[in-house]
Amino acid sequence: MEPKPWTERVLRAFKEEIGGLNFRLILAHVVMHLLPSHHFPRLRTTIYRLAGFRIGPRSLIFGRMEFTGSTALQRQLSIGADTMVNVNCFIDLNAQIHIGDRAAIGHHVTFVTADHDLGSASCRAGVMRPKPIIIEDGCWIGANSMILPGVRLGHGSIVSAGSVVSGSVPPDRMVGGVPARPLKTLSSGP
């Protein structure tokens, strides 16, 4: 059997590479590059809605978000009403992420849904096991924080800036640090 001509191999490789591209999201990001950060949040939010993301009324996106994931990114993310997402957030959408109403997401926050089984010594990152992230209503996530797979932030909880959250947080609790630990119980009233 003769090897395939190099042109067929190149064409097949090219098709495999572009097969997962999301052209609506690419177009949205091209437009986003034209908008200065912290300006035009309503327009930016509308563009993300047009790209297919579910974003509640009166929510605002202040900067470009970076997404990664295997497929159907738009179906994996939902953002509630009256929520604010600051600039330069990284959102891994290998599993669903739900951000509730009246949440505040600081700049450079990272959401990671991809986890791995522990592999053998020859490859420690074993089989990928995506786990969803749930941010309940009223949460505040400080700048440069990282939310890891399977985390649920309870209603009204706060994550201090620069924290790494690897476990779920009860409602009305402030956590902080690396790894995040309880800092304070907050009042549940208005």
Residues 6+ apart with CB under 8 A from 163: 142, 145, 146, 175, 176, 177, 178, 180
CB distance 79 to 55 below 8 Å: yes
CB distance 53 to 77 below 8 Å: yes
Longest dimension (CA), the chain: 75
DSSP 179: T
**Coil vs helix vs strand at 91:** strand
Residue 69, by phi and psi: left (phi above 0), alpha (psi -120 to 50) or beta?
left
Residues designated as active site: 116
